[in-house]
Each structure stands twice: as structure tokens, then as C-alpha cells.
Amino acid sequence: MSDSTAPLDRPRTVLLRGGTIHSPADPFATAMVVEGDSVAWLGSEGAADSFADGVDEVVHLDGALVTPAFTDAHVHTTATGLALTGLDLSGARSPEEVLDRVRAHAEARPADRILLGHGWDASAWSGRRPPTRAELDGAAGGRPLYLTRVDVHSALVTTALLDLVPGVAGLPGYAPDAPLTGDAHHAVRAVAHASITPAQRAEAQRAALRHAASRGIGTLHECAGPDISSEDDLTGLLELAAAEPGPRVFGYWAEHVTSARQAGRVRELGAVGAAGDLFADGSLGSHTAHLHEPYADADHRGTAHLDADAVAAHVAACTEAGVQAGFHAIGDAALTAVADGVRAAAEKVGTDRVRAARHRIEHAEMLTGETIAAFARYALTASVQPAFDAAWGGEEGMYAQRLGRERARTLNPYAALLRAGVPLALGSDSPVTPLDPWGTLRAAAFHRTPEHRISVRAAFTAHTRGGWRAVGRDDAGVLVPGAPADYAVWRTGDLVVQVPDDRVAAWSTDPRSGTPGLPDLSPGRELPVCLRTVVAGRTVHERPNG
């Protein structure tokens, strides 16, 4: 695929030619020059001839597509790596299958002090019941076992693990024979994660970063915090990512702060913000998202972790300290509390300062017209996961089970957010849903509720430039001269312009419009295959044999 000579005393210069370069600077570009860690030039195949003799490497694209590398704006890196290297329960179709996988894993890992697994989801099972504690005790051979539900907001555990957590039965969220939620879950999770050795953690992080690079992802936003990981986990990840070739990692630390001093401590950890999974509520799947009206399948409204006053104190402190703030908010009541809190903070420190800080909200699923308007007014980034709708949307999906069909149809209104001018950043919440950027774009463009669909181009922008803008960078996530040389090379089929409404498609699909094409992501079509991922001019993934 390439011809190379080794440079010694200057930045390497690479010419990519003979493909399609996705760039707003030149929608017809077939070649690109990278000098060191930046894009230097884009243009036509004929013009590329003048560069060919003066570069260190020529990459022959053979018709491949080159795009900016994707940014996944919400990831739990260590948990992703543990799911990749450990007990993966995603796809398990019954309690019996979970128990079979637990038995096999326990036999294969005799030395593990605590067995870890992730990804079960009983909402689609016959009977919709997870394994009982007694069943898990038997399958694990009496050993401590911790199994997170797919949304990571509840967990199945064995009696042996509960025995390691004194007082857990008195904590909110404890049930004698049901998944743990709330404080009980957090206490058990802390003990389970404490069993992971530094070597195991680094192995998991490397596995996750390698996997991300193989999917054309050049940047991850790590959403860490005291309730879901540890300071050592975050700082270790940031050090590893800085020291070894791989995707860039921007870290968030989800600790509630009320002063500039506390906000400064977040910076000392290396985090770019006191944001990410700072929980205003929980999740729909675990019945812990905070709702205005009760669940359709439970007689309560979920759990509120932060009220408007707590939100206001956090946003004001972060804004005054120049630190990005943010929250995890899924239910409509949680999103109302966040909107009201941001409004109160703006009244205290000034709307312009709040807008300039680019605070962000993770998930933002049960939005209303009023909360969308608040997002727009205060320039809040909606960090969203379209694969959630693909997994749980639709007339018979988990959302409809939890909320009823009418409320379920209102979830994840991406088109309304874009119409209001709300910045979008797309991600996966991996390991909740997989690292799969093209699948994410497909889920946004073919949303199960048609009025919420957005164009592939808009979704692509939100999954590339949107992630960079969410960390305050407007110069990246796009292939133009001077931009960081973070890109991916793809084997794909025909390039098209896909929009939700055919009436708007005519001009944008006309070659005279100069609209760059993207792969056809229609359901059933094969998704692009990543051939190479480059970060800051360095190849961090190359597919064997192209």
C-alpha cells in the first residue's frame, strides 16, 4: 500500500493519493499531504505529482476513502477492556446462558479473587428475569462474582461478594434477591474494582485503545469519576495514552464541586472537566432514571441524585474556575433539574460565561421543548449515543416497556436538537454499546422514530468535529491544511449523500453542490472496514493485508 524512505532529522512527509479525501476544503480531493503531525495540503491527483518526489512515504489508496478519525465522546476505557478480555454477557439470550458463561469463565480464571463480567440484559428475555443469587452462587462455585447490567447502573452479585462489603444490606438500592442499584451497587462495585491489579488494569486499557484504533477512532473521552472508577484508574490511563502510540484520551472526572479550589483539584488529576458521569439520575433499563411521571412497568419515578440547587452550585463553581462542567441526565425530571440549575448558575455568574464554558450533558434522552431550548440558550453540548435507540427503541423495545409507547417515541430527538442549534457530540458509552462509529452514524440516520432522524453528514460531523468542539477545540476533527493529522483510511462501497427527507436531497446529491459523499449506511449494507488509523501523523492501526 505504501512506498517509504526513512527520514532522520525532520518531520516525516507522507503523500496519500489515488483515493477520496473527505474534506470541506476540496470536495473533489483525491490526494493529501501530511507533514509531521499536521495536514499540509489536499488536492487533485494531477497536482499530487509535484509532491511525489519530495516526500518520505507515498500511500497508494487504491480507491479507499480517507476521513478524519472519529472521536468517541463517552467511553469507560478500563471497563471496555475488561469486557473485551473477560466475561462478556452481551448477546446472552436467557438466564441459563448467563449461568453457562459464568461457569466456563470461573473454570478458566481460577486465580481471580473476584470474577467480573458485563453486558446482561433481561429486558428481551422470556420472563424478563435475571438469574437468582442462588443460581449465580452455584455457577460461580461459591466465589465472589460481579456482573454489571448492560447500562452499568445495576449489577448481579453472589453471596460471597456481598460478604466482602460490610453493611451493604442497609444501603439504598439493596435487594435480597434482585440486581443491586444506587448506593448498594456503588459500594459493591468499589470492592470489585479494587480487586483489579495495576497490571490487569493496564492490560484492559491497552486492549480497549487497540480496539478503538481498529475502528478508526482517534480520540476518546474517558468519563471517569469517584462513583464509577478511581483516581488511579484515570491517571494511569492518561499516562498510558500519552506514553504509547494510540488514540488520544481526554479525561473527565465526575466529582461534584462547589468551589474554585475543588475545581482546581480536578485539573490536577489531568482531567479537562468536572463532567461526564456526574449522575443527576440513573438509567431507564435499571428503573433509576428520574421521571416526572411513574414508569409504565413500575410504581415509582426513579432516583434523583442531584437537584437544581446542586447543579447550580457545580456549574457556577466550574464556570468561575474556567473548568468545564457536565452531568449524566437521562430522565425528563433529571433534565429539568439540570436545565433549572444551569439557568440559576447563569443568573449568578452570567449567561455569556456559562455559554463560553461549553458545559456538556451526557445521554440527554428524555428531552422536552423547554429543556432543548435551555440547551440552546446556554450552549450546552448534548453528548449522545444513537446506538441506545438502535438497541432499545422501537414499538416493542425496552424504552416502550419502561415508559409506554407514547413517551418512548419522544426519546433521543436528534433532529430537534440540531434545529435548535444545540451542539452534538456522538459516542458509545462503551461498554454499554460497542465502539462502532459507522454503526453509530447509521443509528442516528435511521432512528427508530423517523422524526428524530438526522442526515449522515450531520451525524458524521457530530462524531468527528463535534467531539473536538466538546473539549474546546475548533481546529480539529476535519481534514484541512493546518489541522491535526488524525485520520482513518476505509475500504467502502459507493459514496452518497443521505438525508432523512428526499425532498431536500436533490441539490445536495448533485455534484455541482460540492457536498462530499459518505458511505451508504442504509440498513443491511456492509459498513466500511478500517484499513489504517493515524493519530498526530503516527500510524496506530494497520489492518493486515489491507
pLDDT digits (tens, 9 = 90+) for 141-193: 999 999 998 888 889 999 999 999 999 999 999 988 889 998 999 899 889 98
Rounded CA gap, 298 and 426, in Å? Answer: 30
What pLDDT was estimated at residue 7? 42
What pLDDT was estimated at residue 502? 54
Rounded CA gap, 58 and 444, in Å? Answer: 36
How confident is the prediction for the chain on average, in pLDDT? 93
Beta bridge partners of residue 4, listed in sequence order: 57
> CB of 290 within 8 A of CB of 302?
yes
What pLDDT was estimated at residue 2? 55
Average pLDDT over residues 271-282: 97
The residue count of the chain comes to 546
Provide CB contacts within 8 A for 313, sequence distance 6+: 256, 258, 345
Write out pLDDT tens, residues 439-467: 999 999 999 999 999 999 999 999 999 99
Write out pLDDT tens, residues 74-113: 999 999 998 898 898 988 999 999 999 999 999 999 988 8
Provide CB contacts within 8 A for 406, sequence distance 6+: none
CA angle 325, 329, 335 (to 5 degrees): 95
Provide CB contacts within 8 A for 512, sequence distance 6+: none
Rounded CA gap, 498 and 509, in Å? Answer: 8
Given pLDDT bands bounded at 50, 70 and 90, which one contains residue 6?
very low
C-alpha grid cell for residue 251?
Answer: 479525561
Which strands, in side-by-side order, build the sheet including 487-491? 20-21, 65-68, 487-491, 529-535, 538-542
- pTM reported for the whole predicted model: 0.90
